[in-house]
Structure 1
Amino acid sequence: MLGDLNKGQLIDFLEQQVIGRLGCHADGETYIVPVNYVYRDNAIYGHSGNGKKINMMRANPKVCFQVDEIFDTFRWKSAILQGNFSELAGEERQQVMQSIIHKIMPLTNRPSEEPSHGISQAEHTNIIVYKIELTAASGKYESHDIEA
């Protein structure tokens, strides 16, 4: 059965996942990249070093975000989100960074040995923490499980 995720199911799904795909477009080029994220209060929060996606989002803050969970060809969930990028500073930046760390680090077997997503130690103080304030969201699923 194919169906739409209702608002509650969509929020639960976004809160459970940790990896999504960020799509941005600037200067005639479209770029899609997987990122770690945290969802809360109608927004996606993430972090990054300086680079292509940050430069593109600064040039055009309208972005797309996609999250999925695929069990097999006929059992999956997917969400497509639209929103606006902004950079965070101060206390909000610190709180979001802590949320990201608390959500992601338990998912690794060797947290003290993990590289920090390709960001050098010197660049850690320059990590960009960002917010994507959602303007539209939809979710779909397919499931053929028989429920009692």
Structure 2
Amino acid sequence: MNDYDDDGPMRVLHPDQSWDFLRAREFGRLAFHLVGEVHIAPINYAVDPMDRIVFITSEGSKLFGVTANRDVAFEVDEVVDDRATSVIVRGRAKILEGQDAYIVEQLPLRPWIPSPKSVVVAIEVDEVSGRSFDLSRPWLHEIPRR
């Protein structure tokens, strides 16, 4: 990994690295507004050829929230051994309809649980930022191994 800033235990990822990280994963958290509050929901997703975060949902609070206020944030993070990586996206949610919704047929995106979902949503990205961290967790040696 060739990070922007190699000084210290925290590195800022180049935008291309952040997009590569997002493309290689399929599970994240969507933050959206709902009735004056901020909510967070787990979603499975894919990145489309236009660098949008795409997910499928059904009627409910998530859909109502992104319809009432399009401003959203999306986050994916991962901890592997002594490295943590976090990528955050800020943008606007857009319901894809008609021919536009068929983008999901070209993406590796299917519901993880067998519930009916038919509304395709894309996050049009305004900003992407990523960080990687070298972790120092000296307490791990104290955790009993089973």
TM-score using structure 2 length: 0.78
Tell me how far apart the structure 2 counterparts of residues 115 and 25 of structure 1 sit (CA, whole Å): 24
**CA contact 2:86–2:131 (8 Å) conserved in 1:** yes
Match of 1:20 in 2: 28
Cα distance per residue 1:1-28 (max 9 Å; x no partner)? 2101101211110100100100001321
Q: 3-state SS of the aligned residue for 2:59?
A: coil
The percentage of counterpart residues that share the same residue type is 31
Tell me how far apart the structure 1 counterparts of residues 104 and 88 of structure 2 sit (CA, whole Å): 22
The amino acid that maps onto 1:76 is A
TM-score using structure 1 length: 0.77
Tell me how far apart the structure 1 counterparts of residues 113 and 126 of structure 2 sit (CA, whole Å): 33
Which structure is higher in RCO with an 8 Å CA cutoff and minimum separation 6? Answer: 1
Tell me how far apart the structure 2 counterparts of residues 42 and 135 of structure 1 sit (CA, whole Å): 10
| Pair member with larger Rg | 2
User: Gapped runs of 5+ residues in structure 1?
Assistant: 106-113
Kindly indicate which of the two structures has a greater share of residues assigned to helix: 1
Query: What RMSD over aligned residues (CA atoms) do the two structures have, in Å?
Result: 1.9
Cα distance per residue 1:48-104 (max 9 Å; x no partner)? 0111010011110100100111114x4111011111011111222122244143xx5
Q: Given the alignment of the two structures, is residue 132 of structure 1 paired with residue 119 of structure 2, yes or no?
A: no
Tell me how far apart the structure 1 counterparts of residues 105 and 45 of structure 2 sit (CA, whole Å): 10
Q: How does 1:1-148 map to 2 (within 5 A)?
A: 1-40=9-48, 41-72=50-81, 74-101=82-109, 115-116=113-114, 118-119=115-116, 127-143=118-134
Q: What stretches of structure 1 move > 4 A for 4+ residues in a row?
A: none
